[in-house]
Copies of this chain bind each other. A is one copy, B any other.
Amino acid sequence: MSLLPVEQAFARLMEMAEAATIHEHESVPLAAAQGRVLAEDMVSSLDLPPWPNSAMDGYALRLSDWAGEPLRVSQRIFAGQAPEPLEPGTCARIFTGAPVPQGADCVEMQENAEVLDDQRVRFTEALSPGQNIRPQGQETRVGDTVLAAGTRLGPVELGLSASLGLAELKVVRRVRVAVLSTGDELVEPGQPLGPGQIYNSNRVLLCSWLKRLECEVIDAGILPDDLEKTRAALGALHDVDLILSTGGVSVGEADFLGHALREEGELALWKLAIKPGKPLTFGHFRGVPVIGLPGNPASTLVTFALLARPYLLRRQGVSEVQPLQFKVPAGFVWSKPGNRREYLRGRLEQGRAVFYRNQSSGVLRSAAWADGLIEVREGSTVAEGDLLNFIPLSEVFG
């Protein structure tokens, strides 16, 4: 069976996400909008700055009035004050951020001004029109689209919204994701381990990750290896946008999730050209989309980062769903080309990409050591210094 290239799996998931875009919106205060997705274009109703203002602490004057002689100070303008028009033949003391008075066309910084005994001010350097003045609307004009619908809101976007005077934003409602794990071998941390059992790490990995993505997380626990109970557990999930499972969806005899999906929905099993993480499931259960990630923690990490995360963002209408990646020189040799695209958990050392010695998909230790994913393309070898794609983990965790 041929392997599905990562790009094709990505494209199919994006199509399915777009067919199920969430159209419900809500208004939230700025302080609660962190990580949410803007539901409509943000259009400025202000000029920024709202009026010409001083970029310096200094003196405002009108150049055409001025023949080089010292000037009397006719007013003092602090930030937050509305100035009088400039009295002809005088200057105004002005502070950073304060409105430039009508009639003034130049601000000289205080370091280049000398206050004489009679309190008049002498300017010691050449002056030019407009200097140290930030013109009205220099940054933003009324009617500008400052942020587009589909923008994710981080600290910068929220600060920008505040600068436009917006106290509330219309955002897409949160995606509701039910997280479940499959496998009788799984035990939750804090419980004793029986023979043949291991601790469930994927639930914590995915729940904390989904919260960082501002999803609403429904923790659906561990599915028992039993068809009846699996069916009942799935049926108990109401009002969810996605069922995200790890482990167990395969053609295996012990795969009860797969059975349940085939009975009451449909199921596509993809063999991806990705390592770690070959088996990925996409299906529906009673109309609710289901993504089944592989159960080995490093596989869960890579497939969630590169496929499920973009899917969840696209469901909310986000346009830019791919993480940034950088070209970095390899600090290693890769002599055996693989048939899957490999994402090594790695770091930069002296500017070169190196990877954790043990790239087994079984635990997360490699990923905890790593700062990013190093991409080695299918069918490729790598020589020291070759440029490879590096995806910082910070790009996929927010």
Binding site for B on A (CB under 8 A): 30-31, 34, 46, 48-51, 57, 78-83, 95-99, 134, 138-140, 146-147, 151, 154-168, 183-191, 193-209, 211-212, 225, 247, 250, 252-254, 295, 297, 301, 323-324, 326-328, 348, 351, 358, 360, 362-365, 367-368, 371-372, 390, 392-395, 397-398
Contacts and interface: CB of A to CB of B under 8 A. Distances in A.
Contacts of A183: 79-80, 97
Given A183-B97, A189-B162, A199-B163, A31 B360 contact: no
B360 A139 contact: yes
A360 B196 contact: no
Contacts of A204: 30-31, 155, 158-159, 161-162
A185 B50 CA distance: 12
Interface centre among A79, A189, A225 (most CB of B within 10 A): A79
Interface centre among A134, A162, A185, A328 (most CB of B within 10 A): A162
Contacts of A196: 51, 79-83, 98-99
A279 to B, nearest CB: 10
A202 B351 contact: no
Given A46-B193, A51-B196, 9 more contacts: A30-B204, A49-B198, A50-B193, A79-B196, A80-B183, A98-B196, A159-B201, A163-B199, A326-B328
A131 to B, nearest CB: 14
Given A189-B165, A397-B398, A160 B201 contact: yes
25 contacts: A30-B208, A34-B211, A51-B196, A79-B185, A79-B254, A80-B186, A98-B196, A99-B196, A140-B365, A154-B397, A155-B212, A156-B205, A159-B208, A160-B368, A162-B200, A162-B203, A162-B205, A165-B199, A167-B188, A168-B190, A324-B372, A324-B394, A326-B348, A392-B392, A397-B398
Contacts of A30: 189, 204, 208
What 3 A-B pairs come out closest when comparing CB atoms?
A167-B190, A159-B205, A80-B185
A155 B363 CA distance: 13
A326 B147 CA distance: 27
